[in-house]
Structure 1
Amino acid sequence: MRARASRRRRSQEHGSRDRWLITYADLITLLLIFFVMMFAMSRLDTAKYDDVTHALQNTFRSGDSILEMGSGLTGKTDVNTTRNPSSDTTNKGAEGTDTLSQRELAFRKQEQELQNLMGVIQKYVEDNNLQNQIFVADEPRGISITLSDRFLFDSGHAALKPGSAPTLAKLASLFRNLDTPVSIEGHTDNTPVGSGSTYRDNWDLSGARALSVLRFFIEREQLDPTHFQYAGYADTRPVGDNSTATGRQKNRRVEITVLRQLQQ
């Protein structure tokens, strides 16, 4: 009796130890099923795929676009009075293209005029030995013509020197046929104006000097005032070192810039 109970106990213990095999077998079976399903899903039915693709293509080709006032894919959205954009809309689009191309041509024409202008001014400066008084540069905003204050004004004054008239008249003749805005900007060094000066400060002096050049163009040379703008910047935009005499001389200037900008 005791021996039989001992055998039954050993049999139960052995069965308990082997129960993990059931779980392991279930896991392996599930993994096998999973990979079989993945393999089956990865096999593409080419014939069915082609059928679906052709069906979608035919549907979208035959349907009228709602954006073009059509009836849509279902044919039940036709609530508009016309099916396609009117001829007026098409013409407006064509006009927009024409306007864009005309503007591009205008920019190209202007660029050619600016390059010709720069060449003429450079030759004038060389022919008249004005290299130390007038500097010409092609900058991103336009053709910049920098005139030294010694060439244009007496120290601390904004009245133009008589000797500057021929050069300004030459520039005016070049500006006359240009359909391009011209900016005139006055600049000073950082030395304060004298106590006996008629100008309050360098802001007042730089603006007055730019205005004197502007008035020469529009009053004496009769250029169109709508093509011009002017400003005074005092010593806020130096090009030289204000701690040296040479740098201060570079900063006292008037810049005339023929802008890369079409008139409205």
Structure 2
Amino acid sequence: MSDGARPVVIRRPKKITVAHHGGSWKIAYADFMTALMALFLVLWILSSATPQQLRNVAEYFRTPLSVALAGGDRQTSSTSVIPGGGADPTHVDGERQRTELRLETRATDIQRQFVALQKRIESVVKADEGLRELLHQIRFDMTPYGLRIQLVDTDQRPMFENGSDRVEPYMRDLLHVLAPLLNEMPNKLSISGHTDSAPYAAGVVGYSNWELSADRANASRRELVSGGFEDSKLLQVMGMGDQLPLPGSEPRDAANRRITLVVLNREAATLILDRVQEAMLASSALAME
């Protein structure tokens, strides 16, 4: 090699081996795809639901306890469990709120018992020739707080004498039939009376729909007890006047004149008692100030 010749340089690329990164990204990706599939499934179900079903789902999550117990729509109701005042049942803090809002949302043993009770009531009433015609005036629905039984008026067959708390004979017979069936359940019972919006001549100054609804609820209570229902199982009796008309009804519809019985589950009964005690403690604290 001459002095002026350049040396030959051979460059060989280095082989770089990439380390294995593990499979954690696969788990994250699988979780993402599962969540995405669940989202599409929910959207598909919502798209196939009828407008009425969508309204029912929305109303379920918006309805406060007092409305679920008494059987009315949310728009014309108070959010207070305690008639005439009391703490807002939807306004509590921390874990307790989340627990209370999830009352009995799944099928449980007690709900199956409620379904069995409904079928038994329907069977007994249908078998009684004198009460069979009243079957279409008995409405059942399952709520997060228990089985709601509504006894509604018709123009042809009212449950009470007009403007009075005097129980019609067939209503008395019906309550006497219901009493032993309700008595088979250990659950507490809530009774509420309702009227249509037809006012008294003196308005709300004298005897009004407030007094009438409360008197009719108490008259129903007396007939249930007379029929054998244990008075110790009664948790509350209240009059709601015309404040909770049935959804989709006109204010003066006969069906708004009704008695609502709610066979309460344990959580709902406890919640009502807690609210009453909280209101009593708050009143006592205010009185001491």
User: Under a length normalisation based on structure 2, what TM-score does the superposition of the two structures give?
Assistant: 0.48
Partner of 2:217, secondary structure, is helix
Gaps of 5+ in 2: 1-103, 271-289
- Deviation of the 1:171 alpha carbon: 0.7
2:73: which partner in 1?
none
1:185: which partner in 2?
192
2:229 aligned residue (214, 223, 227): 223
1:166: which partner in 2?
173
Aligned partners of 2:142 and 2:202: how far apart in 1? 39
1:259: which partner in 2?
264
- Deviation of the 1:177 alpha carbon: 2.1
**Deviation per residue, 1:160-201 (Å, 9 max, x gap):** 1112222111110101221101111101111112459xx711
Aligned partners of 1:252 and 1:131: how far apart in 2? 16
Within 5 Å, give how 1:75-86 maps onto structure 2.
Answer: none
User: Under a length normalisation based on structure 1, what TM-score does the superposition of the two structures give?
Assistant: 0.52
2:10: which partner in 1?
none
- Compare relative contact order (CA 8 Å, sep 6+) and give the higher one, 1 or 2: 2
Within 5 Å, give how 1:47-196 maps onto structure 2.
Answer: 108-127=108-127, 128-149=132-153, 150-195=157-202
1:65: which partner in 2?
none
Identity %: 29
- Deviation of the 1:140 alpha carbon: 2.3
Aligned partners of 2:174 and 2:166: how far apart in 1? 15
Which shows bigger deviation, 252-261 or 206-215?
A: 252-261
Gaps of 5+ in 1: 1-103
State the 4+ residue runs in structure 1 displaced beyond 6 angstroms.
none
**Deviation per residue, 1:91-132 (Å, 9 max, x gap):** xxxxxxxxxxxxx9xx95433321210111223444413243
Aligned partners of 1:242 and 1:130: how far apart in 2? 20
Please tell me whether the aligned partners of residues 190 and 242 of structure 1 are also in contact (alpha carbons under 8 angstroms): no
1 or 2, which has the higher helix percentage?
1
Aligned partners of 2:138 and 2:118: how far apart in 1? 12
Aligned partners of 2:111 and 2:249: how far apart in 1? 35
Aligned partners of 1:109 and 1:241: how far apart in 2? 32
Aligned partners of 2:122 and 2:136: how far apart in 1? 12
Please tell me whether the aligned partners of residues 186 and 232 of structure 1 are also in contact (alpha carbons under 8 angstroms): yes
**Aligned-residue RMSD, C-alpha:** 2.9
- Deviation of the 1:217 alpha carbon: 1.8
Larger radius of gyration: 1
